Structure 1
Amino acid sequence: MTITKRGIGLLVAGLILLATGFRFGYPELTVLGCAGLLAVLLAHAYAALRPRLAVTRRAEPDRVMRGEDSRMTLTVRNANRVRAATLIAYDRCGPATVPVPVLQLRPGQDTVTEYPVPTARRGVVAVGPLRIVRRDPLSLVTMARSHGETARVWVYPKVHPLSAVPVGVVRSLDGRVDRVPHGTITFDTLRGYVVGDELRHVHWRTSARVGELMVREHLDTSLPRLVVLLDDRPVAHPGLGGGTSDSFESACEAAASIVMAAQREELPLTLQTVTGVTAGGDGRRITDTRPYLDLLAEAQLRDSASPGDGDELSQATARLRQRRLGDTLVYLTGPGRADDLGQVGSLRGAYPTIIVGALGALGATGSAPAPTEGMVVLSAADGADFAAEWDGVRAW
């Protein structure tokens, strides 16, 4: 609760009048002083009354690509059946504050406000909570409270179309190439029977034990499996400002473009950051890109480099070498650490095909990083340039 300048003035004047009246024996001044102090006291009691508000919000849509439109619809309803709500309201939308017209909201009445959500930058935009400022009729005291929950809008990186994806070492059975190794369809897990499953896949022994039909689910290991390693270390992306950099934003765009291309080709893909956040990795084809794009929207650089930054890439490469999540590794980094290509190149025994995307390299240094034996190095200034360099590779 905050007392306004008018309230402070009235409080000081009341005290002076009250003291003067008692000191010199003027009952009129004493009455005026008591009236001023009583007005401030009643103003505190009035502002302290908590309004009964029902606040709901809906984002349409709540997941958009950078630059696309998203609108927030906010509904504020006075749930009090007797008392009207005289309020001043502001909604928090990212870094901006949006005024909400709820002055003199009658009992049972609601007001609806619609406004655009800023989507110019990749990230997660937090919207809310609604901040209600209540004042007394004389504007002596104000009380600010928060109402409603906080909603989030995911702003995905911009996607640049890629015409092809790497075919990997082992080839798929659906006609991408002719050579198919034997034994590429393997057992993966058991799951409950659903209408449409073939009866020849029912595992009768397990079904008898659990009391319901259980179906064997197989995994096609002949599909090319992509692994995208996104470098989210500040040392790899110089020019850090506002928690991010242009090269990191370009790397996120490149990762999103690869995700969408893999989803179009129905290929398995694992997305992993150097700091250890992972999406996918179960060897299944991409059917829903939301977990991957959510990760890219939430990805951030730390504010400052720590002494352990040099070890994080070593730990990430050790995890990739141990798990062997695929046969094609795409490493997306910035122009800050060209020496890291040697560590990534050491994974060639586990990942026969390694592609390095050095984003921002041309713009920052004026030259592409030196190519390493056994790796395809794509140096690009931004996401659109990366897509052009990617489509220019004839080995796909």
Structure 2
Amino acid sequence: MDASSGHVPRGRVLRGHRNPGHRPGARQCGAAEGAPGPVSDEQQRRQTLGSGVRHLIDAGGQLGSVLRRAGQRVGEALRPITRAIARRTDPVVRTVSPLGWVVIGSLLVGGALGWRYGWIELRTLAVLLLILLLVAVAFTFGRWNYDAAIELGNRRIRVGQTALGRVVLHNTSGRPAASSILELPVGRNVAAFRVPRLAAGEEHEEVFQIPGRRRSVVRIGPVRAVRTDPLRLLHRQRQWTDPVELFIHPEIVRLEAVALGFLKDVEGVTTQNLSSSDVSFHALREYVPGDDRRSIHWRTTARVGKLMVRQFEETMRSHLLIVLSLDPESYRDPADFELAVSCAASLAYASLSEERAVTIHTAHDTLSFPNAVVMLDQLSRLELSRGGSSTLREVALEGARRVPDASVAAIITGGVEPAELRGAQLAMPPEVATFALRCDATLTTSRRRASNLIVLDVPTLADLPGGVRSLR
């Protein structure tokens, strides 16, 4: 080594040499901090591969979007065709029972394997299943030649009564009709009758009865004629009639409508109370000191030679608002709710029989009706409901808003606390005469006051007339 020139021969390693300006632990500043180093061939290949994969994914996403839009267009174009095919095939598909689909599947699989591999057993099984299907088709398919009707002796009954009805089936064709099964849905149940073979023009009748165990609206029908094979592989039916409704009305008792209270009104119902100053003319009578001279009928006075005055009947109105709670938590037992509905029906029936207006308000609806029959029909549909979150006070407040001309209000609920009834009363206008009924079989018949609210405890429907009489 030439020390003066500092040259290091190639292949020689200088050991132990230290740069005078070097400090241990100090960074070398030969390159800018953070500058990338040289990229190897392997890294360059990975970057190129990743870029290609990303481009491929983007292209696949674009292709997927194009295919999805094309599929939507094709689906929209084919939708009328598929709907038409579904309408055509749906009756056939519904004709086959689950057991029938098993038989059809076994026939196809067994026949394909039997003839593909020459298995006699599978061929024989396929032939037998085919015969069963052909026999089922012979039993099931054919023309319908019936004309049916549902007849009810009375479409409206009370709880505890029994409704009688019949189904009449008539062969309207000119040839005999095969035997079939007649199905009659009654509520959630289905009654089945066997219809014998009917000759041309022959008629068959099936009589039924429906006990009115509870207040409800029972849907009867439609009448369906059913044909099936002995193994029930196929099941074909046809609807013959529209459904009819049987109304089972709540039980009611007779009440004295006069006990409900009335308010004077110039457009109300006339009463038997005579008055000398009103708008409903009744008759003429002789003048007595103190009568209003404006009521003198001068023409009659001139004819008879003495003063005659007009006599009027007082006109009064009563619009009864019934607030009925449908909250299940207000009633100890469903029978208590039935009692509440019967009380509401009895009050409404008494007022309607006197030709006075009645409105029944619940948390879900406001019921108004022109006569007692429609009122009982609507009450037959009421059911307890957990859907409403309104309190009894809120229900009463909404009822007062919807019926601003109410003169009497009845709040009917279960065995709730009197304070809750008092809150509902405060939601009523002060000029409305309000009373409350608590319907609970565990209570004793009583009449009490919660401030100025009269509360009647009614354990049975027979106790209602006495409670209403106490309101006079």
CA distance in 2, matches of 1:97, 1:33: 36
Query: Where do residues 56-75 of structure 1 align in structure 2 (5 Å cutoff)?
Result: 56-75=149-168
Which residue does 2:406 correspond to in 1? 326
1:256 is aligned to 2:345: yes
Contact 2:270 / 2:315 at 8 angstroms: preserved in 1?
no
5+ unaligned residues in a row in structure 2: which ranges? 1-94, 282-313
1:276 is aligned to 2:361: no
Which residue does 1:231 correspond to in 2? 325
Write the deviation string for residues 104-124 of structure 1: whole angstroms up to 9, x where unpaired. Answer: 233433211121122110010
Q: What is the deviation of 1:29?
A: 8.3
Identity, in percent, stands at 19
Q: CA RMSD in A?
A: 3.6
Q: What is the deviation of 1:343?
A: 3.1
CA distance in 2, matches of 1:8, 1:109: 39
Partner SS state of residue 250, structure 1: helix
1:380 is aligned to 2:458: yes
After the TM superposition, which segments of 4 or more aligned residues of structure 1 sit over 6 Å from their partners?
366-370
Write the deviation string for residues 133-174 of structure 1: whole angstroms up to 9, x where unpaired. Answer: 312367543334443211101111101122453232328632
**Which of 350, 364, 372 is the aligned partner of 1:289?**
372
5+ unaligned residues in a row in structure 1: which ranges? 186-219, 240-244, 281-285
Write the deviation string for residues 329-361 of structure 1: whole angstroms up to 9, x where unpaired. Answer: 11111124654313322145344311101111x
Residue identity matched to 2:350: A
TM-score of the two chains, using structure 1 as the length reference = 0.73
Q: What is the deviation of 1:132?
A: 3.0
Residue identity matched to 1:309: S
TM-score of the two chains, using structure 2 as the length reference = 0.62
Partner SS state of residue 143, structure 1: strand
**Which of 252, 272, 282 is the aligned partner of 1:159?**
252
Contact 2:400 / 2:406 at 8 angstroms: preserved in 1?
no
Which residue does 1:359 correspond to in 2? 439
1:182 is aligned to 2:278: yes
The 1:45–1:384 alpha-carbon spacing in structure 2 relative to 1, beyond 3 Å, is same
User: Which of structures 1 and 2 has the bigger CA Rg?
Assistant: 2
Query: Where do residues 1-396 of structure 1 align in structure 2 (5 Å cutoff)?
Result: 1-3=95-97, 12=106, 16=110, 20=114, 23-24=117-118, 30=123, 33-34=126-127, 36-41=129-134, 43-44=136-137, 46-49=139-142, 51-82=144-175, 84-136=177-229, 140-164=233-257, 165-170=259-264, 173-175=270-272, 177=273, 182-183=278-279, 222-239=316-333, 245-280=334-369, 288-302=371-385, 304-306=386-388, 308-310=389-391, 313-321=393-401, 323-336=403-416, 338-347=418-427, 349-360=429-440, 363=442, 371-391=449-469, 393=470, 395-396=471-472
The 1:260–1:369 alpha-carbon spacing in structure 2 relative to 1, beyond 3 Å, is closer
Contact 2:249 / 2:376 at 8 angstroms: preserved in 1?
yes
The size of the alignment, in residue pairs, is 342
Write the deviation string for residues 294-334 of structure 1: whole angstroms up to 9, x where unpaired. Answer: 111111122x355x333x74154244146423211111111
Higher relative contact order (CA 8 A, sep 6+): 1
Q: What is the deviation of 1:269?
A: 2.4
Contact 1:357 / 1:386 at 8 angstroms: preserved in 2?
no
Partner SS state of residue 379, structure 2: helix
Residue identity matched to 1:129: P
Partner SS state of residue 376, structure 1: strand
